[in-house]
A and B are shown apart, each in its own frame.
Chain A
Amino acid sequence: MPMRDYVIRRLLIIIPTFFLITLIIFTLIHFAPGDPTDAMVGKGGKLPPELREQIRVEYGLNQPLPVQYLIWLNKLLHGDLGYSYITSGSVLNMIAVRIQLTVELQLMAESLSILIAVVLGVIAAVKHHSIYDASCSVAALVGYSTPDFWLALILLLVFSFWLKWFPSSSSITPGLTFSTPFHALFDHFKHMLLPTLALVAVWTAYLFRLVRSAMLEVLTQDYITTARSKGLKERVVIYKHALRNALLPVVTYVGYSIGLLFTGAAVIEEIFALPGLGQLMVERSQGRDYPALMGISIAIAIMVLIANLCADIAYAVVDPRIRYD
């Protein structure tokens, strides 16, 4: 089936998936023990029952659950994510402000990781059994076993506190004005480097192993022998014939691992005090701010779905066998 139909089919599957996700998120939040009104008044606050009831009616909490779900869903589809229990600000606004940083961090980390992993992984596979291969593999194994947030702490300790080379928090130096956009960008970059590195280290390790094992397997395939028997240069055999095939599992993995990247990013954001979506999620979870939590979860879920779609499309582009499902 041609590409267009494939994309349409994928999009059609996303829609029920999305609704299922909203249902799961809603259910998860609303089956929590404890009264949501507690969140609004904060712990230890005492509220007379009439006032509490008033709040419940106002927020629609007295309706049966399915109705609440539909109301919320309806609002959601209209772009209204509700208002935070805690700050009373629009959830949508909160998310919009924060999402940029998270996406930036993730994209940077992901791209850098892929680049390094592919280059190193191909070389390691080609030079199988060499010192280079062995040392890279061991390094990758160590990197992959490292807790990313601990690595962030160590980086912070060494490069920020001790060496003072990099700032330790937030995404730009507060209070400074910059003479040119370039300076602003450079300052921003200084702030983002350590967080990105913490993510990249662990990610590259995992991707490296993936690329290397994919390449090793591809290099044993018959069509590689055929390519050589045609008289192609070894470099062409590896980078054209082998790599294309080896990247297939990598593409799949990268696309579907956006969720994992978020896991790492949330903690990194906390440590480096970066005002991103992950950090927001952590904050709101502590405060049991349900509308915010639901909104953030939906936002994240949408990002993941989009990423998955891109991964599916990328995979179909790269592997002609897939379109003929």
Chain B
Amino acid sequence: MESTKNEPVLKIDDLRTYFFLAEGVVKAVDRVSVKINETEALGLVGESGCGKSTVAHSILRLIREPGRIVGGKVWFEGEDLLRKSEAEMRKIRGGRIAMVFQNPTSSLNPVFTIGSQIAEAIKLHQNVQKHEVKEKVVDILDKVGIPSPSERMKDYPHEFSGGMCQRAMIAMALSCNPKLFIADEPTTNLDVTIQAQILDLMRILRKEFSASILLIGHDFGVISEICDRIVVMYSGKVVESADLGTIFKDAKHPYTKALLESIPRINIETERLHVIPGDVPELIKPPSGCRFHPRCEQATEVCSKKEPPLVEIKQGHEVACLLYG
């Protein structure tokens, strides 16, 4: 099947990924559906533990015991990734879909050079001659903004700063021209100035590589720098999804609104920072009905009994809240 402009690059349907622990079953991802279109940048936002990372790992089937994908479908290039064999998935990982992770310095193997680790990916997915590999490595390192790439490719990860490691990771991910580029909290562990640089880099590369991006994070500021659409997750479920402008101006779900309000704004005077009362629920025994209701200011009695379905209230704007459907 050929993908046209209207066909999404990635379509996650009703995904369920559970972790089977001694204490109980953790429903980390509980019936999540997400869509990413061609060249679109989608932001997946939520607090720690809401399942956003698990969604990313599930796409590439990197979930290991005690976790398991128990249901749903992940459509990519016309096929359900969850039905593919392990050998077929390996072709896709790093090739058609690539991922960068949260801790760049620890995500690179300390005993191999940066260059060799990137070359490894290239050799795996592309049909190139040995002498061409080195050129490609230098080329991609240059594209991500690493100075003197032909020397620095012989360096080891501990000789690179955090920001540079992340650039190298991005280089590794983009080296094989993936269709979908997943970035799991890529800037969370970097300091703010470096964060900005990496985001700039991602913006530039987006144009050059025309890949779709799935950006995962908990910082709205970071997400809004790049993404066209935003999906908000809470406690393993999608609570709202809309394009960037709509979310900021017209968010409907109480959780989204609370998140937005928590962002300190430099031009508004407040005495105290707005916080969402309560704690992220334990995923082993989530609250009944709507998972957010214990912390929701607008909760009613029905919210504790009935789980709200994800409803499209406007073109391209979905909400899971009983206030709206």
Contact A223–B62 (Cβ < 8 Å): no
Q: Is the CB of A231 within 8 A of B107?
A: no
Q: How many residues of B contact A (CB 8 A)?
A: 29
A227 at the interface (CB under 8 A from B): yes
Q: Is A241 an interface residue (CB 8 A)?
A: yes
B90 and A226: CB pair below 8 A?
A: no
Please name all residues of chain B whose beta carbon is closer than 8 Å to the beta carbon of A227 when the two chains form the complex.
109
User: Which of the residues A226, A320, A321 comes within 8 Å of B107, measured between beta carbons?
Assistant: A226
Chief secondary structure at chain A's binding surface: helix
Q: Is the CB of A230 within 8 A of B172?
A: yes
What is the CB-to-nearest-CB distance from B188 to chain A, in angstroms, rounded to a whole number? 13
- Contact B156–A231 (Cβ < 8 Å): no
Contact of B99 among A229, A232, A233, A324 (CB under 8 A): A229
Which chain A residues numbered 214 to 246 have a C-beta less than 8 Å away from chain B? 221-223, 225-233, 241, 244-245
Do B98 and A229 have beta carbons less than 8 Å apart?
yes
In contact, A225 and B90 (Cβ under 8 angstroms):
no
Taking a contact as CB atoms under 8 Å apart, the answer to whether A231 and B94 are in contact is yes
Partner of B93, one of A223, A231, A245, A319: A231
Are the C-beta atoms of A230 and B94 separated by less than 8 Å? yes
Instruction: Please state if B120 and A232 are interface contacts (CB–CB under 8 Å).
Output: yes
A57 within 8 A of B: no
Contact (A223, B108) CB under 8 Å given A231-B124, A232-B124:
yes
B67: min CB distance to chain A, Å: 13
B95, A231: Cβ atoms closer than 8 Å: yes
B60: interface (CB < 8 Å): yes
- If the complex has contacts A223-B108, A231-B90, A232-B120, are A321 and B62 also in contact, measured as CB distance less than 8 A? no
Answer whether residue B68 sits at the interface, using C-beta atoms and an 8 A cutoff: no
Query: Are A241 and B109 within 8 A (Cβ)?
Result: yes
CB-defined contacts of B94 to chain A, threshold 8 Å = 229-232
Mask for A286-298, Cβ within 8 A of B = 1, else 0?
0000000000000
Is B125 positioned at the interface, with any CB of A under 8 Å from its CB?
A: yes
The reply on A318 being an interface residue by CB < 8 A is yes
Inter-subunit contact B120/A222 (CB<8 Å): no
Query: Is B224 part of the contact surface with A, judged by Cβ < 8 Å?
Result: no
Known: A223-B110, A321-B156. A231 touches B62 (CB 8 A): no
**In the complex, what distance in Å separates the CA atom of A229 from the CA atom of B99?**
7
**Chain A's nearest CB lies how many Å from the CB of B105?**
9
Q: Which of B90, B95, B112, B156 contacts A233 (CB 8 A)?
A: B90
Which residues B96-115 have CB closer than 8 A to chain A? Answer: 98-99, 101, 103, 106-112
Q: Which residues of chain A from 57 to 73 have any CB-CB distance to chain B below 8 Å in the complex?
A: none
- A222 x B101 contact (CB < 8 A): yes
| B73 contacts chain A at the CB level, 8 A cutoff | no
Who on chain A is nearest to B95 by CB?
A231
Is A321 within 8 A of B120, CB to CB?
A: no
| Chain A nearest CB, measured from B128 CB (Å) | 16
Q: Are B106 and A223 in contact (CB under 8 A)?
A: yes
- Which residues from chain B contact A225 at a C-beta distance below 8 Å? 62, 101, 107
Judging by beta carbons under 8 Å apart, are B106 and A221 in contact? yes
Whether the pair B109, A231 counts as a contact (CB closer than 8 A) is: no
Bound form: Cα–Cα A228–B89 in Å: 10
Chain B residues closer than 8 Å to A221, beta-carbon distance = 106
B110→A321 contact, CB < 8 A: yes
* Complex contact B110–A245 (CB within 8 A): yes
Output the least CB separation between B177 and chain A (Å): 14
For B90, the chain A residues whose CB sits under 8 A away are 231-233
Chain A residues within an 8 Å CB radius of B60: 229
**Complex A-B: 17 CB contacts under 8 Å:** A222-B101, A223-B109, A223-B110, A225-B101, A226-B107, A226-B169, A228-B93, A229-B94, A230-B98, A230-B120, A230-B172, A232-B90, A232-B94, A320-B111, A321-B110, A321-B156, A321-B158
Interface residues of B (CB under 8 A from A): 60, 62, 89-95, 98-99, 101, 103, 106-112, 120-121, 124-125, 156, 158-159, 169, 172
What is the interface of chain A, defined by CB distance below 8 A to chain B? Answer: 221-223, 225-233, 241, 244-245, 318-321, 324
Beyond A229-B101, A244-B111, A245-B111, 16 additional contacts (C-beta under 8 Å) are: A223-B109, A225-B62, A225-B101, A226-B101, A226-B107, A229-B62, A229-B94, A230-B93, A230-B121, A230-B124, A231-B90, A231-B91, A231-B125, A319-B111, A320-B158, A321-B110
Closest 3 A-B residue pairs measured CB to CB? A231-B93, A230-B94, A231-B94
